[in-house]
Structure 1
């Protein structure tokens, strides 16, 4: 009795110690995983991050980490305890009746074969299941974020069809893993039952032959029955580990994403920008290149020049700006800054040379100062104040409850779209790149706010090379030169006066716009 009590107490202590240790270890592991994931994501070129998709990245840091946490927090201690319990029970069976216990070996071949069959198929199936859930999350996020667009264009039925298709894929992936389990688990149950039946028959024979006692047979049969629970738990958590393994592969797999460029050490020898015979084709979902969006574009930017890029929607203006900013490498030709291929520069060097500002504005949760100094963490208060004054934001910042210490972003003080854009532009000023690509950076603001912000930018942009992609022609008329992009080519290039004198596409566009004004 004392031995039994001691065994039960030892099991309880071992179980508690294993769980406590695994929980502490799990929190350390998850914190490290999230930190490393964010480091990998922010170290990747923007095009690679965009190719992965926001929904997929969020799914990796939420659903996959949660699935992994289940395995690490509870799987490791349960497997340890179940393994020790199974081993001690098997030893006890052997000690109770060595010859009778040989019956327990009967179930091992079936258990080994079916488990091997399962483990060869489970990792790929669970990985596909996690990827299917990521696609479902991405679809839901895209539909929710674009709810206004869906409503405005009557795309509800289309988005429903897309979601149904994704749900069918998720259902199929879930059925595949379920099919594996429904084949594996019954075979496990059979591997438990057969040894018990054999032990009874074999034990009866031994008792009749005088080679064993009825007590030995009874003890061995009970021990074999006692093995069912720990072995079942062991295999159940082994199955859970397959889910955790798939989730872990997705969390750390971002580091294995194929790069879209080959970095070469070095720094540019100047600030001139040269675009030579550039072609670009966005990749299809299967990774193969699509049709060319840009067709042999060549362009030389003089240091300190302000170039306006205008043209119809879909002409390739934004694509050209993203190539100049190093977001995408060209599929042919080259984009060079100071003689160095822009996408060949190390990312930290490239981001100090050319910066891209788009229509999107993001305000992070934190203080206004934290948002501003992202580009230069060591910036002094004087530099921050000077930057705010340059982008004409000093007035409204001074009126905030705590100035630059005011909490903004989610749950904080709300900023208007114009104020959020000023924060984005202030980051650029602090980053101090010599070339800026403004991709319709003020197009989502109302005309008065946009005009005010563009006037305030004049001092900020002085001395920098600026590529301004815009649909408001007053922006173009103020530029040093204007490039008209049509069908992926530069159709016209010159000053405002020169292009008006030619009477081409720009002149027609100006006349149409000016006439409406």
Structure 2
């Protein structure tokens, strides 16, 4: 299945999201701005007091006047230091709280994504956004954001101070900054697209590495090492090119900026010197103006560095916020809510991304409370059919409905209450056994947890753990093997208590005895609910109410176990092969 990328938020969406974050903590943001303004105001006193000292000395004033000015200069410097530290502390606290909101919103949106959207985009893109992109945004909120505010306020105050000293010198200083403005415009026109391309390339690298690592055994079995290595090399080369492009942008931008810093200072000294010679300005005013413009290079340089960082973090924030633009199910808009549990598959055809059809005109009705087994050879379309009935994918042609409502139109929360698909792939989350179970039902009492474990035959080994339900699992704790992880996943299903349960070889990692016990226990627990089992062990089909046989994307047989064995068709051949008995008509097994 070809991979795409999740959407990216546009500039307007990013601006709205940033304003929402500020509004969520307006008081803290206002405090940060106020403290920065006070720190910048205290910093303005230094050059002005130094200019007064020069004029006082030239005027022949005594040492006492200079000492008083020097004391004031020291006090202002200490006040600036205190206020700047306080402002940075407040800014970091604001940044950390805001980052927490960004992370929580990202997780909520990721969990609300339809499974088909995640699978089409690939886990690499989602992982890159949730790790590197969120980290970049966090660093900006914690460090770049507060520093940008501090230096922006300082730069505005310094430029204003030069205008107050002399409007002509102020205008000259601003004119001298024109090359910086031109370089900044050149950079901003190219930076966002460059960083978005870099982020997309990073997602591609993460995706191909994750897919290769997860399918390492398959790669080895089919001798695909060279092909996967070549694909990884191509992805890395693309990533290298995008990173070199953004490096080129930074190199040109900062080189032009560094050269431009000396222009306003030199211009003020030349014009100011001429004005002083003609008696139009005091020497102290010229020195103060030059010092203000020299000081301006510090915060201005910091601002430009942060602006560059903001381009990278802005692109990352656009990728993080892009989840809000990801396709949602129609049910989220129309409030689809089925009144009943009957599943109807009508004239369904399906192909992956325009390829060959995997399902070819399937018609099937599953009544409430029925236990249906779906069997057939590998590649027959069993898993694809289960995905369509679970609402993960939408049929290319035809419909899959629950009580007349298309399954793909159900919102994620409603879908999870209606239909749950359990596959061979299970995950043990970091945390205790109790935490792993309560993911399905946070309010579950301890008795409910033990009942769910007992239903899937997992209570015995959990009781043997050092701390029982409170035993940590995963890295640093007890490591659950594949069959135990599968049982935990099935226990979560029991707690979720869905109307319809689809088992896609969900007990494949269990030994035959445990698998049979688990399936029968689950059937007892889910009595009265619909159970659809994609079966690779035919004892599952034997216990089902009906058996559906899939061959080459078509539903070729449908009936009870006894009826299909008596019919002597494909299912009968599979059944005799499973038991090691040759079919009576001598046909080969499917």
Q: Same fold (TM over 0.5)?
A: yes
Instruction: Specify which of 184, 192, 202 is matched with residue 253 of structure 2.
Output: 184
Is 2:555 aligned against 1:490?
yes
Aligned partners of 1:466, 1:50: CA distance in 2, in Å? 24
Change (3 A) 1:384 1:106: closer
1:73-222 correspondence runs (5 A): 73-96=142-165, 98-203=167-272, 205-206=274-275, 211-212=280-281, 217=286, 219-222=288-291
Aligned counterparts of 1:96 and 1:378: Cα–Cα separation in 2: 68
Contact 1:482 1:496 in 2 (8 A): yes
Residue 227 to residue 509, structure 1, CA distance change in 2 (3 Å): same
Structure 1: distance between partners of 2:460 and 2:284: 92
* Aligned counterpart, 2:319: 250
Evaluate the alpha carbon distance shift between residue 230 and residue 382 of structure 1 in structure 2; reply closer, same or farther with a 3 A threshold.
Answer: closer
Q: Distance in 2 between matches of 1:393 and 1:215?
A: 84
Number of the residue aligned with 1:408:
473
In structure 2, the partner of 1:323 is 388
SS where residue 392 of structure 2 aligns?
A: coil
3-state secondary structure, aligned to 1:227:
helix
Residue 327 (structure 2) pairs with residue 265 (structure 1): no
CA distance change for structure 1 residues 385 and 212 in 2, over 3 Å: closer, same or farther? closer
The 1:383/1:79 distance shift into structure 2, 3 A limit, reads: closer
Residue 484 of structure 1 and its aligned partner are, at CA, apart by 1.9
**Shift, 1:103, TM fit:** 2.7
User: Displacement of 1:152 after TM fit?
Assistant: 4.4
- 1:382 maps to 447
Q: Is the 8 A contact 1:280 1:293 kept in 2?
A: yes
Q: Which shifted more, 262-271 or 308-317?
A: 262-271
Q: Alignment partner of 1:103: what SS?
A: helix
Contact 1:307–1:479 (Cα < 8 Å) also in 2: yes
1:394 to 2:459 alignment:
yes
Pair 1:460 & 2:525 matched: yes
**Deviation digits for residues 291-324 of structure 1 (CA, Å, limit 9, x no counterpart):** 4322221101122222211222222211110111
Of 366-375 and 219-228, deviating more is 219-228
CA deviation vs aligned residue, 1:141-176 (integer Å, no higher than 9, x gap):
333333444444443333322221111121121122
Cα distance, 1:97 vs structure 2: 5.0
- Aligned-pair distance for 1:28? 0.8
- Asked if residue 282 in structure 1 is aligned to residue 345 in structure 2, the reply is no
Give distance in 1, aligned partners of 2:107 and 2:346: 35
Please report the RMSD computed on the Cα atoms of aligned residues, expressed in angstroms: 2.7
User: Do the aligned residues in 1 keep the contact of 2:393 with 2:408 (CA within 8 Å)?
Assistant: yes
Q: Aligned equivalents of 1:196 and 1:516: distance in 2? A: 97
Shift of 1:206: 4.3
Q: Which of 279, 295, 314 is the aligned partner of 1:226?
A: 295
8 Å contact from structure 2 (residues 347, 397) kept in 1 = yes
Per-residue CA deviations over 1:85-117 (Å, capped at 9, x if unaligned) read 333433444455544454323323333233223
Structure 2 vs 1, CA of residues 353 and 85 (structure 1 numbering), >3 Å: closer, same or farther?
Answer: closer
CA contact (8 A) 1:364 1:410 kept: no
Instruction: Please name the residue that 1:353 is paired with.
Output: 418
CA drift at 1:441:
0.8
Aligned to 1:433: 498
The equivalent of 1:300 in structure 2 is 365
Distance 1:36 1:176 in 2: 31
What TM-score do the two structures reach when normalised by structure 2?
Answer: 0.79
Report the Cα offset of residue 20 of structure 1: 0.3
Q: Which residue matches 1:286?
A: none
Aligned length: 512
Judged with a 3 Å threshold, the aligned counterparts in structure 2 of structure 1 residues 326 and 14 are, in CA distance, closer, same or farther, namely same
Residues in 2 aligned to 1:504 and 1:204: alpha-carbon distance in whole angstroms: 105
Instruction: Determine if the alignment matches structure 1 residue 314 to structure 2 residue 384.
Output: no
Q: Which deviates more from structure 2 when the two are superposed, residues 302-311 or residues 289-298? A: 289-298
Q: Secondary structure at the match of 2:263?
A: helix
1:261-301, CA deviations, whole angstroms, 9 ceiling, x for partnerless residues? 44432533322211111222334xxxxx5443222211011
Structure 1 residues not aligned, in runs of 5+: 284-288
> What's the CA shift string for 1:397-421, capped at 9, x where partnerless?
3323233233333332232322222
TM-score (norm 1): 0.90
- CA gap of 1:382–1:113, structure 2 versus 1, over 3 A, is same
State whether residues 280 and 292 of structure 1, in contact with CA within 8 Å, keep that contact through their aligned partners in structure 2: yes
